[in-house]
Structure 1
Amino acid sequence: MVVLVDSFGDAVLSSDNGAVITIDVSAGCKKDAFPAGYNPWRKAVVCHVAARAVGGKANRAILDLIAGTFGVPKSSVSIISGAISSTKKIEIAGISREDAVSRLSVLLKA
């Protein structure tokens, strides 16, 4: 079940370097989309990527998509857990938790 919500508080944490977002990934979709909703069961922001989960292609697509969404260099975005799972923790260096939640909320309403 994917739910649209105003706050992603459960999915976004602070880290020493920036913000950590828990994402629920669907690979092999028709098009890339982030954020594509909120999964309350996993407490994760939904992410769709067209790339298949083969040879790290989906992970690279996720990092590119999130970097573009937040307007940060690709080097600022990293997978800190869940590299081979559909649920991942993504760290975005240089942005605050509050900024991440605000940006995600605005993007989902658009």
Structure 2
Amino acid sequence: MADPADALTSTREGTVLLLDVNSKAKADRFPAGYNEWRHAIGCSITTPPVEGKANRAIVALLSRTLTIPQSGISILSGATSSQKRVLIQGMTFEQLAGFLRERCPR
């Protein structure tokens, strides 16, 4: 059975989350499912990917949803791609894995 925790990697700096982003969606949503082939968590945002606006919207959405400061979230790679690696500081691997397991449809 697919486990959303497969989208996570624990590091010394925090937990790295693999995101599969859908921009220009009808509504902001995180998590928006789990892609078991890419081992990535879905993230939908209404903001278009223009001049970094979508990346800022992703950080804001994750901050609101995970209830951690925006300063604890940074995009490590994929700034111009729909697939992103995001560093989450302020939540342990176990906390983020539990959150995703509760909220990701499998």
Moved more, 10-19 or 44-53: 10-19
Equivalent runs, 1:45-84 vs 2, <5 Å: 45-84=41-80
Task: Show the counterpart of 2:104.
Answer: 108
- Deviation sequence 1:21-62 (CA, Å, 0-9, x none): 000000000100000101112110000000000111110000
Letter in 2 for 1:78: S
Aligned-residue offset at 1:6: 6.8
Unmatched 5+ residue regions in structure 1? none
* TM-score normalised by L of structure 2: 0.92
Which residue in 2 is equivalent to 1:26?
A: 22
SS in structure 2 of the partner of residue 106 of structure 1: helix
Give me the whole-angstrom Cα distance separating, in 1, the residues matched to 2:34 and 2:5. 11
Amino acid at match of 1:16: R
- Mapped contact 2:8–2:97 kept (Cα < 8 A): yes
User: Separation in 2 of the partners of 1:23 and 1:55?
Assistant: 19
- Pairwise CA distance, 1:108: 3.0
TM-score calculated relative to the size of structure 1: 0.89
Query: What is the Cα deviation at residue 94 of structure 1?
Result: 2.0
**What's the offset of the Cα at 1:93?**
0.7
Separation (CA, whole Å) in 2 of partners of 1:9 and 1:107 = 12
Q: 2:4 is matched with which residue: 5, 8, 24? A: 8
Give the secondary-structure state (helix, strand or coil) at the position aligned to 1:79.
Answer: strand
Give the 4+ runs in structure 1 shifted more than 6 A: none
| CA RMSD in angstroms, aligned pairs only | 1.4
Whole-Å separation in 2 of the counterparts to 1:101 and 1:7: 9
Match status 1:88 vs 2:84: yes
Q: Any stretches of 5+ residues in structure 2 without a counterpart?
A: none
Q: What count of residue pairs does the alignment treat as equivalent? A: 105
How far, CA to CA, are the matches of 2:21 and 2:43 in structure 1?
5
